[in-house]
């Protein structure tokens, strides 16, 4: 049965040329954020040997094993290029675009953008949910989604800039104020 395309289904991933991952590489997994490649291992399952990329996520003390042949289709990627992160930072300076739809629908769209792993889409969520002083308070769920997006973007920016997440968060907030 073909996959149904809808507003919340992720876009089909294009088969890309295989990306080489090696131990020590910082990578992004769409639903977990920035991790570090520990290496490539062979695993046996049901009589088959499988090459897997072992990725650890320090923040939530998790280890993920992604089959090498499924790495690109799973969304595992290297850190964003300087150009892609520059686009994300520029996105933060733009005007917030808040649709006039029910919060539950918008929340689903924001979650899908965060889980896309695309820094520009994550920056859109941060920009749209960022509240300046004097604006109405956010609901608890709005604040949670905002913080999740900000945290995900800051983690990738910190890895690219070789700083910590606090410095990266401050840099993101400075870009938001310029908008």
Regarding whether 30 and 43 lie in a shared domain, the answer is: yes
Token readout for 74 is: 């799973």
Say whether both 112 and 34 belong to one domain.
no
> Would residue 9 count as lying in a domain?
no
Whether 86 and 160 map to the same domain: the answer is yes
The count of structural domains within the chain is 2
pLDDT of 144 strictly over 80: yes
Instruction: Give the DSSP letter string of 121-138.
Output: HHHHHHHHH---TTSPPP
- Percentage of the residues of the chain whose pLDDT score is greater than 90: 58
DSSP 9: S
Instruction: Quickly count: other Cβ atoms within 10 Å of residue 152's Cβ.
Output: 24
What's the pLDDT band for 98 if we cut at 50, 70, 90? confident
How many residues in the chain?
A: 179
DSSP string for residues in 28-96: EETTTEEEEEEEEEEEEETTEEEEEEEEEETTTTEEEEEEGGGHHHHT-EEPPPHHHHHHHHHHHHSPP
Buried b or exposed e, range 117-140, using 16+ CB within 10 angstroms: bbbbbbbbbbbbbbeeeeeeeeee
Q: Is the same domain home to 167 and 144?
A: yes
Co-location of 112 and 151 in the same domain: yes
pLDDT tens-digit map of 25-73:
999 998 888 999 999 999 888 888 889 999 999 888 899 999 998 888 8
Band (pLDDT 50/70/90 cuts) for residue 171 is very high
| Model confidence at 159: pLDDT above 80 | yes
- Say if pTM beats, i.e. exceeds, 0.85: no
pLDDT at 99: 83
Confidence of residue 13 (pLDDT cuts 50, 70, 90): low
Domain identity same for 140 and 164: yes
pLDDT value of residue 133: 53
**Final residue of a domain: which of 42, 57, 78?**
78
Does 169 map to a domain? yes
pLDDT tens profile 101-143: 899 999 999 999 999 989 999 999 999 998 765 566 778 899 9
Look at residue 72 in the predicted model and tell me its pLDDT. 85
**16, 28, 35, 49, 81 from 41: Cα distances, Å:** 22, 19, 17, 10, 27
Residues 171/157, Cβ–Cβ less than 8 Å: yes
The pLDDT value given to residue 149: 95
Predicted local confidence at residue 104, as pLDDT: 92
pLDDT in tens, 71-84: 888 889 999 998 99
Mean pLDDT, residues 1-22: 58
């Amino acid at each position: 049965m073909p996959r149904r395309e809808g507003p919340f289904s992720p876009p089909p991933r294009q088969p890309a040329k295989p990306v080489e991952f090696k131990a020590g590489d910082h990578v992004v997994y769409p639903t977990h954020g920035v991790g570090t490649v520990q290496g490539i291992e062979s695993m046996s399952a049901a009589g088959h040997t499988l090459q897997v990329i072992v990725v650890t996520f320090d923040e939530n003390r998790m280890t993920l094993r992604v089959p090498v042949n499924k790495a690109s289709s799973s969304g595992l990627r290297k850190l964003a290029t300087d150009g892609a992160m520059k686009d994300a930072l520029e996105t933060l300076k733009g005007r917030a675009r808040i649709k006039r739809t029910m919060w539950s629908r918008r929340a689903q769209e924001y979650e899908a953008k965060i889980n896309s792993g695309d820094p520009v889409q994550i920056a859109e969520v941060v920009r749209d949910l960022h509240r300046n002083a004097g604006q109405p308070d956010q609901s608890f769920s709005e604040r949670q989604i905002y913080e999740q997006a900000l945290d995900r973007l800051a983690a990738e920016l910190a890895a690219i800039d070789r700083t910590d997440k606090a410095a990266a968060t401050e840099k993101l907030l400075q870009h938001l104020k310029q908008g």
